[in-house]
Chains A and B, each alone.
Chain A
Amino acid sequence: MASATAAAAAYDYEDVAVAGAAQDLGYDPNFVPDSVKSFVVHMYRHIREKNVYEIHQMYETSFQTLSDRLFKDSPWPSVDAVAQYVENDHVFCLLYKEMWYRHLYARLSPTLKQRIDSWDNYCNLFQVVLHGVVNMQLPNQWLWDMVDEFVYQFQSFCQYRAKMKNKTEQEIALLRQFDQAWNVFGVLNFLQALVEKSTIVQILEQEKEGLEQFTATDGYDYSGGSNVLKVLGYFSMVGLLRVHCLLGDYQTGLKCLQPIDISQQGVYTSVIGSHIATIYHYGFASLMLRRYVDGIREFNKILSYIYKTKQYHQRSPQYEQILKKNEQMYALLAICLSLCPQVKLVEEIVNSQLREKYGDKMIKMQKYDDEAFALYDELFSYACPKFITPSVPSYDEPLVNYNQDAYRLQLKLFLYEVKQQQLLSGVRTFLKLYSTISLEKLANYMEVDVPTLRTILMTYKHKTHAVDADGKITSNADIDFYIVDDMVHVVESKPSKRYGDYFLRQIVKLEGMINELDRVKLE
């Protein structure tokens, strides 16, 4: 196979920019240390024996340990060098290379040739899966990582390609030659094909009627079949959501996710990375669609979940990523709550974390002066996805960088929305103080004329009423009002303290304490 040797050839390639330095230092792609030999031999055996537990252990722990010990700043041995230990098994070699590139992307910086070869490898791997010749059982973690990494490498490629200014002629020649590599149609069609071929949407439908099991077994197949296509198809829906968010197509992104009911636990919650990616992108898309309450609700749920379970992930290779997304989601929550002050939707623990991180900024964001806009800008820029321009650049025109274009456009449109809402927090503050007030008086307080006040009040109504996916309108306002001719009547939706939640918590606490006391007595 052409691409089997491609990996090895990659090192010889002249354009080894940054990665080169480290790789040249005594890295011999053909040298296979004993520990690696043992790793692939065992991994191969466990895969053949469908021992998911052991595969998962080796994948999560051994691979990391070996990487830390032997391959901190060099790639793993080439696939050609290890193939002999795994009976040259085609599919195993594809999987090995998938990990090989992922490790390379994480620890070194890939050359263009390596990016292209990694694309080839994904093509071959997905092709094999789509043709249904894979009968393995792989851990969800790994399958999620494949989809996640596939989308990440696509994003990374687009960013790389968009920095045209300092491309060498050689690189441009290569880009032209391999114009199908990480092509946006190819990427989307692979994800879409995995969704369709796996019939995952139908499976989830049938599951609702009790005709099929998927969630109950976490997607695994315990009757001798393979989980690979099904679960890859499942995670590809999250992958599609993410790609569409990167492109600024939030509506389509949410549509891709629709078959997964995120109000419930599901296979997407079985892997922390997938759980976070799903909710982060769902919440971000909701924010951009002005469905602030949807965003707040889901951010609240996952942030509280992360808060409670963080400690179990401390040693996981994803820990840093978890913390980063955690911080980003607090920033997005701060934005949502500033535009739509529905604090009662947020649990105590999340709220106290939020105040600690963004309390001061959120107060300033209510002011809608230049400093406030700068803060919206700052939080958005910190927390948004790494937007991409998917199109191929023109190689003939003077080469310019366009890697910031997509981000700038999304930021600009978001800030535009913020500006449209700039007078709303002011009017809200006044409305809070009155049960009825005449337009004239309110206009006076706000230092505008009555016609302008009418527009502000109508804008308030329009912006606080979200249109959901089915076109249904729901109010997101905590302070609501109506006008009878020239008189404003204010209706405050009672800031109902969550007594239920509070009491439940206290009951559980008390019970714990009583149990503790009982134990003391016994001793």
Chain B
Amino acid sequence: MGRELQQQVSLTVEQLVAVNPYNPDILNDLEDFVKEQVSSVTYNLEANLCLLRLYQFEPEKMKTEFVAYILLKALMAMPAPDFSLCLFLIPERVQMEAQFKTLTVLSHYLETARFGQFWEEATKSRHILETVPGFEQAIQNYIVHVLSLTYQKVSRPVLSEAINLNGPSLDKFLEHQVSNNGWIVDKSQSTGELIILPSSQFNHPELKRNSDETVPLEHLTRIFPILS
């Protein structure tokens, strides 16, 4: 009976991390949770950092397969700086292993927007990347994010190279973006197809409210005695 009850109230991994983030006994749960994140295409940075921390405290317990999964998931979380956050916790000698070097190179290409080189390198490392469902799509989302920060209008070849799609698969991608995310394909240009990306304060910086002029109240209070 007591046992059954315990089963029922057993905590989720998120709760375990919240209750005691410095508990060496949750290591296995966290490892399982990494696998679960991979298979269910979910993500929890906090739990993953917690696992890396436990590895950092007791390096003899480190299993590099989980470190690799965590780093791949961190790449998928770009533009957030999660990949660096994870590297900060991984000992340098581990980072020197071939598979991690590859991931670092991939991260470097993504960070410096060298998407062509990224896809080239990714093809070479297919065996690593294919272990994580949704990887390609997540990276495409990141690249689209960077393109949307930068361009109001982008030509089809530039887009094609960046997201590594062409021909019919690019058409299908565009179709999806047009109907779901407000993209517009402008075919009237003589120079070729132009894609108009949805406007935001980032690719239309003038949309940003200029709030610099306001004076905070706490500064104004300094002259209250004088004004009275």
- Chain A residues proximal to chain B, CB less than 8 Å: 184-185, 188-189, 192, 247-252, 255, 288-290, 344, 390-391, 405, 408-410, 412-413, 417, 420, 451, 454-459, 461-463, 465, 467, 471, 473, 475, 480-486, 491, 493-494, 496, 500-501, 504, 507-508, 511
Main secondary structure of the interface of A (DSSP, over half): helix
Q: Cβ of B56 and Cβ of A420 under 8 Å apart?
A: no
Chain B residues, Cβ within 8 Å of A507? 223, 226
Beyond the given A496-B212, A501-B219, A508-B222, could you list 19 further A-B residue pairs with CB under 8 A, ordered by the A residue number? A185-B23, A188-B21, A251-B46, A252-B46, A252-B50, A410-B88, A412-B92, A420-B112, A455-B113, A458-B146, A471-B80, A475-B202, A482-B151, A485-B154, A491-B205, A493-B205, A493-B208, A496-B213, A511-B223
CA distance A179 to B129 in the complex (A): 41
Interface assignment of B182: CB less than 8 Å from any CB of chain A: no
Distance, CA A251 to CA B52, complexed state (A): 13
- Considering the chains assembled together, what is the distance between the CA atoms of A508 and B224 in angstroms? 10
Chain A residues within 8 Å of B20, by CB: 189, 192
Proximity string of chain B (193-206) to chain A, C-beta cutoff 8 Å, 1 when within and 0 when not: 01000000111111
- B68 within 8 Å of A by Cβ? no
- 0/1 string, B86-120, CB within 8 A of A gives 1: 01110110000000000000001001111110000
User: Which residue of the partner chain, among A247, A290, A465, contacts B89 with CB atoms under 8 Å?
Assistant: A247
CB <8 Å contact, B205 and A462: no
Q: Give Cα distance in the complex from A481 to B206, angstroms.
A: 10
For the complex, is B133 an interface residue (Cβ under 8 Å from A)? no
Considering the complex, give the chain A residue whose CB is closest to the CB of B213.
Answer: A496
B84 within 8 A of A: yes
Which residues of B sit under 8 angstroms from A252, Cβ to Cβ? Answer: 21, 46, 49-50, 53
Q: Within the complex, which residue of B22, B46, B149 is in contact with A462, where a contact is CB–CB below 8 Å?
A: B149
- Asked if A482 and B150 sit within 8 Å, CB to CB, the answer is yes
Give 20 A-B contacts (CB < 8 Å), ordered by A residue.
A188-B22, A249-B53, A249-B88, A251-B49, A251-B85, A252-B53, A391-B59, A458-B149, A458-B150, A459-B113, A462-B149, A467-B80, A480-B205, A482-B205, A484-B151, A485-B153, A496-B212, A500-B214, A504-B223, A508-B223
Q: Which residue of A lies closest to B85 (CB)?
A: A251
Q: State the CA gap A188–B20 with chains docked (Å).
A: 10
Q: Does the CB pair A344–B212 fall under 8 Å? A: yes
Residues of B within 8 A of A458 (CB): 113, 146-147, 149-150
Closest B residue to A185 by CB, please name it. Answer: B22
Shortest distance from the beta carbon of B175 to any chain A beta carbon, whole Å: 21
Given contacts A248-B88, A412-B92, A491-B205, contact A390 B56 (CB under 8 A): yes
**Cβ of B214: which chain A residues have Cβ within 8 Å of it?**
500
Count how many chain B residues have C-beta atoms less than 8 Å from C-beta atoms of the other chain: 60
CB distance from A497 to the nearest CB of B (A): 10
**B146 touching A290 by the CB < 8 A rule?**
no
Contact B57 A249 (CB under 8 A): no
Q: B58 within 8 Å of A by Cβ?
A: yes
- Chain B residues with Cβ below 8 Å from A185 are 22-24, 57
Chain A residue numbers with a CB within 8 Å of B223 are 504, 507-508, 511
A155–chain B nearest beta-carbon distance, Å: 15
A341 CA / B88 CA spacing, docked (Å): 25
- Nearest neighbor of B216 in chain A, beta-carbon distance: A500
Contact indicator B84/A417 (Cβ below 8 Å)? yes
Q: In the complex, what residues of A have CB within 8 A of residue B50's CB?
A: 252
Q: Contacts A467-B80, A481-B205, A504-B222 hold; do A409 and B146 have CB atoms under 8 A apart? A: no
What separation, in Å, do the CA atoms of A250 and B206 have in the docked complex?
33
Point out the residues of chain A lying under 8 angstroms from B208, CB to CB: 475, 493
Is B155 interfacial (CB 8 A cutoff)?
yes
CA A250 to CA B201, docked complex, whole Å: 29
B194 proximity list for chain A (CB < 8 A):
485
B220 at the interface (CB under 8 A from A): yes
Q: Are B53 and A247 in contact (CB under 8 A)?
A: yes
Q: Choose from A289, A462, A482 the contact partner of B146 (Cβ within 8 Å).
A: A462
Chain A residue nearest to B95 in the complex (CB): A409
B108 touches A420 (CB 8 A): yes
> Cβ of A409 and Cβ of B226 under 8 Å apart?
no
In the complex, whether B8 has a CB less than 8 A from a CB of chain A is no
Contact A473 B111 (CB under 8 A): no
Query: Which residues in chain B, 67-82, are within 8 Å of chain A measured between CB atoms?
Result: 79-81
